[in-house]
Amino acid sequence: MFSFNQKSNLHACGVRGTTTYEEPLIILEFTRFEDFYTFNKNELNFEEKTLIRGITVLVGI
């Protein structure tokens, strides 16, 4: 008879806060559409203003 108090070599995957996958598990992905500006430096060290139309949001564990 197996007891939970008994030490064994049986381990479930994901034990002790580790995962068996190298990539995170994506549970939700959506795009929020909103206009905003970002500033990026170019090769001449000037800042260029760029309009961003939306941002992609990924929720995962």
Q: What is the model's pLDDT at position 48?
A: 92
Would you state the pLDDT for residue 19?
60
Q: Which residues pair with 10 in a beta bridge?
A: none
What pLDDT was estimated at residue 1? Answer: 47
The per-residue pLDDT for 2 is: 46
Q: Smallest Cα–Cα separation from 35: which of 49, 47, 51, 48?
A: 51
Q: What is the pLDDT at residue 22?
A: 76
- CA gap 58, 28 in Å, rounded: 6
Q: Identify the segments of the chain with pLDDT beneath 70.
A: 1-21
Q: How far apart are the first and last CA of the chain?
A: 36
Residues 6 or more apart whose Cβ sits within 8 Å of residue 26 = 58, 59, 60
Name the amino acid, one letter, at 8.
Answer: S
Taking the whole predicted model, whether its pTM rises above 0.85 is answered as: no
